[in-house]
A and B are shown apart, each in its own frame.
Chain A
Amino acid sequence: MTDLALMSLRPAASRAGFRWRSLVGQAWRYGCLVVLLAVIVFPIYWLVLNSLKHQRDFFTGPPIYFTTDLTLSHWQEALGNPLNQKYLLNTAIVTAVSTVLATLAGTLCAYVLARIRLPFRLNRVLLISILIARLFPPVSLAIPYYLLMRQLGLLDTLPALVIAYTGLALPFVTWLMLTFFQDLPREIERAAMVDGCTMFQRFRWIVLPMSLSSMMVTAIFVFMGVWNELLYSLTLTSLSAKTIPVAIASFVGDNALAWGQMSALSIASFVPILLMALTVQRYLVRGITFGAVKG
């Protein structure tokens, strides 16, 4: 009798306790989520607000958190400035050219490494070289690049940046494409080979069409990295070949109080990257981990 009573009581009691605990757990989780969202969203809001505030509204204490008295003048000044237009164009050209070069050259390398057994254990030698290259801190190449480009008369030109960025991106492309080729079934290629297709024909007519989307994903990652790159551009350019990250960074020294223009130009350089990131969101983890995690 008592046993029965206990048996009927116990689940009810524990269920009530569970419900209370889960409520606290839920409140705590949503609290954390709100903090997380605030830390992500507020800085972006602040950047947008700063790009639209009147100059007189920046240096107030406490700062103005919300106002409807906005202006587009910072945007007009930032984007109307012919120098900034030139820097944006430079960045676009350098990024596009080096992305295409690195993606093509790296894809060819990766295909050979994935499919052909080279003599002298070259597969392994090349793979290790590529990994070592990827691990390099770029700063260790910046000084020799600067001096070599000076000797070649390429300082402050777009080709200098294209060379540096193609080199920077190549190891990444090769490694990521290698992991994509690994996922590609070999049977079709094997069948084509039996039918007498040469390696070039197999690559051109079978592999390339199948891996176009992987190449796009890889290229987008490269594009984002090169677009944002600061160090090489800082080292190799001074006036005419400057890219947009250098232009933004130079606000700090030259025009430290132009917060509105600083913000407007920052947003202008961020939007293309963000749009690209959204298109490759599915592959982001793969790109970040260098293909180590398929995501």
Chain B
Amino acid sequence: MSYQEKRTIVMSLTSLVVLIAYAIDAFGRGMADLTDLKAWAGKMLLYLVITVVAVIVVQIVFHITVPVSMAVRTAVANRGEVDEVELERKIKTEFIEDEMGKLIELKASRVGMIIAGVGFFSGLVSLLLEQPPAVMLNILFFAFGSGSIFEAIAQMIFYRRGV
């Protein structure tokens, strides 16, 4: 499995965990007050910040652990002897983002945008059906959250199946 695939899995899992945490926090203790829009906005903003921070931290940790694990694997395979120049070149190639990676990212982001768009549409429909605005806000939040997860899944599929 390549670095890009591993990174995609880790990122999507991070988004999924934060989304589940939000769902438990928001709806876990019985039905929340759907009229208090300020509280909902505050909660959503808080989880957006948590998502951004979590993604950055996970990305940094991942960016450090991958080369270390590569170095360890090389050392084990070569019984302690590591050609540093060769290893550095290997790591550089592993981290490279080339034209295929960019194309996959572009195609996958389209999938994410479609999910977010469907969510926006559903949110508007919910308002038309006289649901409280908090329902629309939640639909939007989950649509954008699941959009990023589906984007990652699409990336995985494109990496496996090809483009």
Query: Is B one of A's binding partners?
Result: no
Residues of A near any B CB (own CB < 8 A): none
